[in-house]
Amino acid sequence: METLSLARNSRLTHLGSKKQVFESYMTSEEVSHGLKRGELIQVQTQRPLVNTCSLFLCLQDDTRDIFLDGIVARNRALNGDIVVVQVLPREQWKVDYTVMYIFSCINTTGSILTFVPQHSKTHQQPDVIMEDQCSDQDELIRKVQNTTLTDTVITPLTLSFVCQVVYIVEKKHSRAATGFLKFLPDKPFAMFSPVDHRVPRINVQLADCPEDFCSRPGDYTNTLFICRITYWAADSNFAEGQLAKTLGQAGEIEPETEGILIEYDVDFSEFSDEVLGCLPKNLPWTIPPEEMRQRRDLRKECIFTIDPATARDLDDALSCKQLPDGNFEVGVHIADVSYFVEEGNALDAIASQRATSVYMVQKVIPMLPRLLCEELCSLNPLTDRLTFSVIWKITPEGKILSEWFGRSVIRSSVKLSYDHAQSMIEAPEKMFSAAELPPVDPEHPIDEIHQAVLNLHSIAKNLRSQRFSGGALRLDQLKLSFTLDKETMMPQGCYVYQYRDSNKLVEEFMLLANIATAHHIHRRFPELALLRRHPPPKAKMVDELQELCDQLGIDIDLSSAGALNKSLNTTLGDDEYSPARKEVLTHMCSRPMQMALYFCSGVLKQEQFFKHYALNVPLYTHFTSPIRRYADIIVHRLLASSLNCGPHLGLSTQQVQKQASHCNDKKTLSKRVQELSSELFFGVFVKDCGPLDSEAMVMGVLDQSFDVLVLKYGVQKRIYCKSITGLASFHHHKVGKKSELTLVWIPEDPEKPPVEQVISIFTLVEVQLKADSAPMKYSAVLKRPEENEL
Q: Which of 294, 287, 390, 296 is nearest to 334 (CA)?
A: 390
Distance, CA of 681 to CA of 481 (rounded, Å): 10
User: Which amino acid is residue 102, in one-letter code?
Assistant: I
Query: HEC states along 236-276?
Result: CCCEEEEEEEEEEECCCHHHHHHHHHHHCCCCCCCCCHHHH
Reading phi first (left if > 0) and then psi (alpha if -120 to 50, else beta), residue 499 is in beta
The verdict on whether omega for the bond into residue 284 sits within 30 degrees of 0, i.e. cis, is: yes
Find all residues with CB under 8 Å of 788, minimum gap 6, and list them.
Answer: none
Backbone angles phi, psi at 646, to 5 degrees: -170, 160
Phi/psi of residue 442, nearest 5 degrees: -60, -20
Letter for the amino acid at 683?
G
Q: For 588, phi and psi rounded to 5 degrees? A: -60, -40
Strands (E), 69-149: 82-87, 103-106, 112-115
Instruction: Assess contact for 74 and 167: CB atoms under 8 A.
Output: no
User: Would you list which residues are annotated within the binding site?
Assistant: 307, 316
258 neighbors 365 (Cβ within 8 angstroms): no
- CB count within 10 Å of CB 457 equals 20
Cα–Cα nearest to 713, from 673, 678, 748, 738: 678
Whether the Cβ atoms of residue 40 and residue 255 lie closer than 8 Å to each other? no
Whats the size of the chain, residue-wise?
790
d(C-alpha 751, C-alpha 736), whole Å: 37
> Is beta strand 202-205 parallel, antiparallel or unpaired with respect to 239-249?
parallel
> Closest Cα partner for 626 from 431, 424, 445, 357?
357
**Binding-site residues from annotation for Mg(2+):** 307, 316
Beta-strand pair 176-182/223-231: antiparallel
- Integer-rounded Cα Rg, in Å, for the chain is 28
Three-state secondary-structure class, residue 754: coil
Q: For the residues of 580-625, what is the DSSP string, one character each? A: HHHHHHHHHHHTTPPPPEEEETTT---GGGG-BTTTTBS-----S-
Distance CA(250)–CA(422), nearest Å, equals: 41
d(CA 80, CA 665) in angstroms, rounded, equals 10
164-193 burial: b if 16+ Cβ within 10 Å, else e: bbbbbbeebbbbbbbbbbebeeeeebbbbe
Q: Are 400 and 394 contacting, i.e. CB atoms less than 8 angstroms apart?
A: yes
